[in-house]
Structure 1
């Protein structure tokens, strides 16, 4: 009996160890899925197919990886705001074009869609360290453009894109005006226990219980809950309560983490929203929520008003100089 139990324990232990080894070896393939089953890495459609006004943009990340992006404008002279959009972990930016088309029509904003390294037409292989560099390259490009209002750049991220966007926003307080997170996880460490329940005893984020003995093996932890606590810009949380991938409780925990120090954050629930279709299930309420958030927290600075004020200052300065030069010699005091 003892030998039988020992053999069983050794067998179970061997399976667990083998499972762990496979998880460690192929974790990037589990986190990043540039090619959906049955499809190719190339784009199925382009913005031209949807009659969108766009520009192919080629960037270089700080480590030299060549990246592709689409900059889609509402109108040729539309200067802002501009949404920097970060997608989920699976597929490529072409699979988000229908949603972006409606976003542009409803909100009348510009949208910049970045293809992470290893995705779409971009070179390289995805990793947390690399994708963070890609996001920074996209923001730096937008910040240097002269055809948009660079003071009104809004980062929008869904799922993995929310983790990417949160990190970028935290690192660029003077370049990002606001952040929108949709159906984003607290961390990949926490998601490991959601997707593979037996892992929750070995891997977990700051909000989980357990020994977390194997956290050091996770190369892409994307600990969003630790990042959002350091963000001071306005944040809008969009949570689909029927999310079948990321438990809605993750979004609530993210909001709770931020709300304790940042009063410019808003949490909105969509009862019928699933992981990928909250924008569709939310209908008009979804788009009005985003529009109101940006109008309230990323207001337009009227150029004609500022120029008018400048003219008033110049006029008054010239007037007093005139009074000083003309009236002072005659009367001793200006009028």
Structure 2
């Protein structure tokens, strides 16, 4: 007599990950998640506009200051024009286009830049999109667009000598003016406490450099720049180490490096020395008459 067939439950064998692979797999997953989060948050890190303290009402101390609103794709961006000091040479004046650091606003700088006005320069301080009262969001593309718009407005003025436009950037502002130097001609470039490239900081966050969305490749801009370049950097800078200043100087065809005994936020340590250095550089390159 045949026994009826019986259905036995199938037992599945659970295959466990080898211990060595487990120790590799989970850290790898955590690292990928970390890189993904860093990619999403990098602009908040690079452009910490929400952490900047609100300044006093703009223009209070500078009645001669002229506000110029720049039209960009992302909306209106604010800029301030400081006129040259009274008694400056007659005729169109040379001009500085200035870019500030990532934790600053144009409101913070007029006092410190008045030395350029005493040398006969007009000074145009350009805000970053999304900073202060300006519309938009900061990125390499939007900042370059705003600075190009500022340049175009400036050289269209009859009181400005378009052949004597000097680009000056501090820290992140060095990236802004280097990007502008690729798009528009200028008489000279001044970089203070500036980096070689934003991608060079990826290793600080243990991330691959290709994840950086706004590379701001200053070294490449400096390599192709035909005019004179003044590089000012603190030897004790821990935010953007002095090695960046030396690398930019090495890349520059017509570069001059001045090292200060300073860090990042206290550079220059002596403004009187700074203005002598600036005047000497501008005089040597016949942008002003010493």
Please name the residue that 2:71 is paired with. Answer: 60
8 Å Cα contact 1:53-1:74 kept in structure 2: no
Instruction: Please give the alpha-carbon distance, in whole angstroms, between the structure 2 residues aligned to 1:52 and 1:89.
Output: 26
With over 3 angstroms needed to count, the CA separation of the structure-2 counterparts of 1:134 and 1:298, relative to structure 1, is: farther
TM-superposed CA distance for 1:189, in Å, is 0.7
Structure 2 unaligned blocks of 5 or more: 1-15
Please name the residue that 1:74 is paired with. Answer: 84
Does residue 164 (structure 1) correspond to residue 152 (structure 2)? The answer is no
Number of aligned residue pairs = 271
SS at match of 1:274: coil
8 Å Cα contact 1:48-1:54 kept in structure 2: no
Please name the residue that 2:267 is paired with. Answer: 278
Relative to its length, the structure with more helix (as a share) is 1
TM-score (norm 2): 0.86
Instruction: Please give the alpha-carbon distance, in whole angstroms, between the structure 2 residues aligned to 1:122 and 1:298.
Output: 35
8 Å Cα contact 1:52-1:72 kept in structure 2: no
TM-superposed CA distance for 1:59, in Å, is 1.2
TM-superposed CA distance for 1:144, in Å, is 0.4
Instruction: Please give the alpha-carbon distance, in whole angstroms, between the structure 2 residues aligned to 1:274 and 1:136.
Output: 30
1:39-54 alignment runs, 5 A limit = 39-40=53-54, 43-49=55-61, 51=62, 53-54=64-65
1:169-188 alignment runs, 5 A limit = 169-173=181-185, 176-188=186-198
Instruction: Please give the alpha-carbon distance, in whole angstroms, between the structure 2 residues aligned to 1:184 and 1:52.
Output: 31
Please name the residue that 1:250 is paired with. Answer: 244
8 Å Cα contact 1:73-1:110 kept in structure 2: yes
Instruction: Please give the alpha-carbon distance, in whole angstroms, between the structure 2 residues aligned to 1:56 and 1:117.
Output: 15
TM-superposed CA distance for 1:76, in Å, is 5.7
Please name the residue that 1:88 is paired with. Answer: 101
Instruction: Please give the alpha-carbon distance, in whole angstroms, between the structure 1 residues aligned to 2:74 and 2:17.
Output: 59
1:125-164 alignment runs, 5 A limit = 125-164=137-176
Please name the residue that 2:10 is paired with. Answer: none
Relative to its length, the structure with more strand (as a share) is 2
8 Å Cα contact 1:80-1:110 kept in structure 2: yes
1:179-216 CA deviation, whole Å, 9 max, x = no partner? 1011111111102223x2x23xx32xxxxxxxxxxx1x
1:1-335 alignment runs, 5 A limit = 3-36=18-51, 39-40=53-54, 43-49=55-61, 51=62, 53-61=64-72, 63=73, 65-75=75-85, 78=88, 79-101=92-114, 103-104=115-116, 107-173=119-185, 176-194=186-204, 196=205, 198-199=206-207, 202-203=208-209, 215=210, 217-258=211-252, 262=253, 264-271=254-261, 273-279=262-268, 281-300=269-288
With over 3 angstroms needed to count, the CA separation of the structure-2 counterparts of 1:68 and 1:105, relative to structure 1, is: closer
SS at match of 2:60: helix
Instruction: Please give the alpha-carbon distance, in whole angstroms, between the structure 1 residues aligned to 2:145 and 2:271.
Output: 34
With over 3 angstroms needed to count, the CA separation of the structure-2 counterparts of 1:131 and 1:77, relative to structure 1, is: farther
Instruction: Please give the alpha-carbon distance, in whole angstroms, between the structure 2 residues aligned to 1:229 and 1:97.
Output: 30
Instruction: Please give the alpha-carbon distance, in whole angstroms, between the structure 1 residues aligned to 2:287 and 2:109.
Output: 27
Structure 1 unaligned blocks of 5 or more: 204-214, 302-335
